[in-house]
Amino acid sequence: MTDQPEFPNDAVESPRLPSDDDTYAVAAYILSLNGIIPAEGKLDRESMPKIKMPNRGGFVPDPEFDPARSFGRK
């Protein structure tokens, strides 16, 4: 006998990653909430790279940002 509680086998499942379809569905939902794709729009491997993000040309890197300093490698 051990001090560990006993659980039914189905209660102690290993974590699972979401399927590709689930991942695309969540991304489509978030993009539709922000008006980037229509609410009934479909998102998959072919359509995702064709999405034009609204601020695609507006990124300006911070000239002071130094990844080595930020992650303690200097």
Contact 28, 40 (CB under 8 A): no
Percent of the chain at pLDDT > 90 equals: 46
User: Cβ of 43: how many Cβ atoms within 10 Å?
Assistant: 20
pLDDT of residue 64: 85
Contact 30, 10 (CB under 8 A): no
- The pTM for the full model equals 0.59
Dihedral pair phi/psi, residue 17, rounded to 5°: -80, 150
Does 70 or 21 have the greater pLDDT score?
21
> Across residues 45-59, what is the average pLDDT?
92
Average pLDDT of the chain, as a whole number: 83
